[in-house]
């Protein structure tokens, strides 16, 4: 029995789909969904072959930011300049000012940590007729992955990275530890 495998990889909003069949197909013949549908129809038209099964493997990977336990302190100091100019008959002293520390505010800044996650492959078998109904592999895989995640949250594998974000640093810089 011939089967066609479709691998779907979702990474946040970036999607990459590749389609390939078993070893009888040239590996250089990787194609998009429409080409896969055409190949499936072509192979299905051969009456000597058993009905084809298409295996779709959906998986997801991405990252998110979570608030860290630690936080940073930020000192926000105001500024005042006080001074005077003096005039007396034909004498004049131009304005002279001096900086004076104004009210200082201490603010707490949350620190965020970047976390990568992955949901391993979820396999679904389709017929060529079912495959023809699929308009987008991403749209097809989204509810499958969401259902798998809801049924078993332990399928989400998370890994902390060393990247942190402190929004109180100038220009909201990303700091790598």
Residue 24, domain member (yes or no): yes
Residue 172, domain member (yes or no): no
Contacts of 73 (CB under 8 A, 6+ apart): 106, 107, 108, 109
Give Dmax over CA atoms of the chain in angstroms. Answer: 116
Residue 56, domain member (yes or no): yes
Q: What is the residue whose two structure tokens read 């630690």?
A: 70
Does pLDDT of 176 surpass 50?
Answer: yes
Tell me which of 31 and 58 has the higher pLDDT: 58
Tens digits of residue pLDDT in 1-49: 444 444 443 322 222 333 333 333 333 334 588 888 898 889 888 888 8
Backbone angles phi, psi at 128, to 5 degrees: -60, -35
Residue 150, domain member (yes or no): yes
Residue 37, domain member (yes or no): yes
| Least confident stretch, 37-41, 68-72, 102-106, 169-173 | 169-173
Give the pLDDT score at 22: 37
Give the pLDDT score at 31: 58
Q: Give me the DSSP letters along 50-106.
A: PPPEEEEEEEEEEEEEEEEEEEEEEEEEEEEEEEEEEEETTEEEEEEEEEEEEEEEE
The residue length of the chain stands at 177
Give the pLDDT score at 171: 45
Rounded mean pLDDT of 130-135? 91
- What is the enclosing helix (H) or strand (E) of 27? none
Give the pLDDT score at 32: 83
Residue 23, domain member (yes or no): yes
Compute the distance between CA of residue 65 and CA of residue 39 in angstroms, rounded to an integer.
42
Q: How many domains does the chain have?
A: 1
Classify residue 155 as left (phi > 0), alpha (psi -120 to 50) or beta. alpha
Instruction: Single out the residue of 24, 15, 54 nearest to residue 37, CA to CA.
Output: 54
Compute the distance between CA of residue 58 and CA of residue 8 in angstroms, rounded to an integer.
5
Residue 109, domain member (yes or no): no
Does pLDDT of 156 surpass 60?
Answer: yes
Residue 127, domain member (yes or no): yes
Domain that holds residue 138: 3-61+118-160
Compute the distance between CA of residue 51 and CA of residue 40 in angstroms, rounded to an integer.
10
Q: What is the residue whose two structure tokens read 């989204």?
A: 142
Tens digits of residue pLDDT in 78-115: 888 888 989 888 888 898 888 887 888 888 889 999 99
Give the pLDDT score at 157: 95
């Amino acid at each position: 029995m011939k089967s066609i495998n479709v691998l779907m990889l979702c990474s946040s909003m970036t999607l990459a789909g590749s389609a390939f069949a078993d070893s009888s197909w040239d590996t250089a013949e990787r194609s998009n969904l429409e080409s896969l549908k055409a190949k499936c129809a072509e192979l299905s038209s051969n009456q000597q072959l058993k009905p084809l099964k298409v295996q779709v493997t959906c998986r997801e990977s991405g990252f998110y930011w979570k608030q860290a336990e630690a936080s940073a302190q930020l000192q926000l100091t105001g500024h005042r300049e006080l001074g005077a100019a003096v005039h007396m008959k034909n004498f004049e002293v131009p304005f002279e000012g001096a900086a004076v520390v104004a009210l200082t505010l201490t603010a707490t800044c949350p620190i965020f940590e970047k976390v990568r996650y992955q949901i391993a492959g979820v396999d679904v078998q389709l017929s060529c007729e079912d495959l023809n109904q699929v308009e987008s592999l991403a749209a097809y895989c989204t509810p499958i992955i969401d259902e798998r995640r809801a049924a078993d949250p332990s399928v989400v594998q998370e890994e902390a990275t060393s990247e942190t974000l402190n929004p109180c640093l100038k220009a909201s810089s990303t700091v790598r530890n």
